[in-house]
Structure 1
Amino acid sequence: MGGNQVRRKKPRVLCLHGFRTSGEILKKMMAKWPHSVLNNFDFDFLDAPFHARGKSDVESLYDPPYYEWYQVNEMECVHFDECIAYIEDYMIKHGPFDGLLGFSQGGMLASVVPPMQREGAAFTSVPKIKFVIIISGFELRELKSGPPKLLANVYSVPIDCPSLHLIGDKDFLKERGFMLLRSFVNPLHIHHSMGHTVPKLDEKGSETMLKFIEKIKEMFPQELETGLGLKSAL
């Protein structure tokens, strides 16, 4: 194979798992997606900073260890600031990252990084996040003590960051997922018939995902690759 080839850089995506699961579990859950989707990204799977303080809902499906980002009750959100600092520190040391992908609790976290950057509340030491993929995500519910200080203004204006939201018919967080979707400017949405999980992508879901990928590809510069380099890579 001769000549030079031009290709686009793969976006680097930091993946944030759900409550009392792990980065490895999220990786396995996403493995059901087609290669035509997965091969477009360079994924990095991060474990949350705190070991699970109770039973995991996935114990019958996936082996431990299990981790959690924060804990929430009607009064307050516990360890939220610590988990934000932990994620930002990881992004400083292992980035730069172009996008974020999050499932459930991780989806909630991924969704608030762009507005926290906008407000200068956090993630000011890392490049601006260009897009987010949110699976079974949600807006943090109202707390008697009010939202964590870092989130005071995140929903004050629509979140102007390209976003893709996967929401299931049987997800117990479905309504809060739609609340989150409505917080974004021009979001894309994949509807599926399952519950609180990373779904397989049917034909329509794959089409929407690939449409989103084409949209974000335009943000990345093309790179020149020699024929020899391309051949060796294959």
Structure 2
Amino acid sequence: MRFLCLHGKGTNSQTLEVQLSAVKYQLGDGHTYEFVEGTVPEEAAPEIHAIMSPSEKYFGYFDEHSPQSVLDAVNNLERYIDIRGPFDGLIAFSQGGVLASTLLVRQARRGPNAGCVRVAMFFSGLIPVDPDLLERGVIAPLDHAQAGEMISIPTVHVWGAAEQGELPWPPKLYKLCKGETREQFQHTGGHEIPSSKDRVAVAEIVQKMRRAIWRADVGSAE
């Protein structure tokens, strides 16, 4: 599979490559990964201080307080996929999850054939904003109680037990995805992607990713 990968706020593409290294290794050959970097300068995220140099430049994809910035980021991602794609799947961490899931919701509302992405993997994924309201200049997080299961492609959702109290968004994103084709795994860490130091967690994540990939392949063959 060909994956497009979106990093978190206050990190960069190199950071996500490091964060995903153990997962990618265990997932094995047969997959390619393209990392797209944000353009909004940010301070380094606290969770990356142990793995990245403070002298690096770090970014986000949008200004979280600007509807136009968020809308531009979603439009730019869609344009990137159209030009550089097709991509089979998305891998998104934290703020990258907002961007990826907002695009997936917008494409779902356009119809079943609006997007080419067949599977999505969310690590500490934040919830999407309502793309219709965003077009009107309003940033409003989607609530599954009103919106229902908006994302129908197979998904995997991974988050840390230590982050759930202060950041309850990953379970909300999980509920916005189709029940029959979503997978979740909660590791013991915080706002991070498990590394080779936690082999059990990495193995569990990879198993769920393989199951999602299988579902995507079966679905595309039907």
| Residue of 11, 14, 39 corresponding to 1:21 | 11
TM-superposed deviation, 1:153 = 9.9
Query: 2:186 corresponds to which residue?
Result: 191
TM-superposed deviation, 1:206 = 1.7
One-letter code of the match for 2:104?
P
Structure 1 CA distance for aligned equivalents of residues 202 and 96 of structure 2: 21
Query: 2:116 corresponds to which residue?
Result: 128
Q: 1:46 to 1:38 in 2, by over 3 A?
A: farther
Q: For residues 86-131 of structure 1, give each alpha carbon's deviation from its aligned partner in whole angstroms, at most 9, with x where no partner exists.
A: 212221221110110100000222222222111239x95xx42211
Structure 2 CA distance for aligned equivalents of residues 140 and 153 of structure 1: 6
- Which consecutive residues of structure 2, in runs of 5 or more, have no partner in the other structure? none
User: Do structure 1's residue 157 and structure 2's residue 148 form an aligned pair?
Assistant: yes
CA RMSD of aligned residues (A): 3.1
| Residue of 50, 69, 73 corresponding to 1:79 | 69
SS at match of 1:167: strand
Identical counterparts, % of pairs: 21
Query: 1:4 corresponds to which residue?
Result: none
Query: 1:148 corresponds to which residue?
Result: 134
TM-superposed deviation, 1:132 = 0.6
Structure 2 CA distance for aligned equivalents of residues 213 and 78 of structure 1: 36
Structure 2 CA distance for aligned equivalents of residues 77 and 60 of structure 1: 33
Kindly report structure 1 stretches of 4+ aligned residues shifted beyond 4 Å: 150-155
One-letter code of the match for 2:189?
M
1:41-190 alignment, distance < 5 Å: 41-52=31-42, 54=43, 56-57=45-46, 58=48, 61-63=51-53, 64-73=56-65, 77=67, 79-120=69-110, 124=114, 127-139=115-127, 148-149=134-135, 156-158=147-149, 159-171=151-163, 174-186=167-179, 187-190=182-185
Q: 1:207 to 1:72 in 2, by over 3 A?
A: closer
Greater helix proportion: 2
TM-superposed deviation, 1:220 = 3.7
Q: For residues 37-72 of structure 1, give each alpha carbon's deviation from its aligned partner in whole angstroms, at most 9, with x where no partner exists.
A: 1534211111013233x4543356413121111122
- Which consecutive residues of structure 1, in runs of 5 or more, have no partner in the other structure? 1-10, 222-234
One-letter code of the match for 2:192?
T
SS at match of 1:39: coil
SS at match of 2:178: coil
One-letter code of the match for 1:216?
I
| Residue of 39, 43, 53 corresponding to 2:29 | 39
CA contact (8 A) 1:135 1:198 kept: yes
Q: For residues 112-169 of structure 1, give each alpha carbon's deviation from its aligned partner in whole angstroms, at most 9, with x where no partner exists.
A: 2222111239x95xx4221110001122589xxx952388796523121211000101
SS at match of 1:88: helix
One-letter code of the match for 1:192?
H
Structure 1 CA distance for aligned equivalents of residues 78 and 129 of structure 2: 23
TM-score relative to the length of structure 2: 0.77
CA contact (8 A) 1:14 1:43 kept: yes
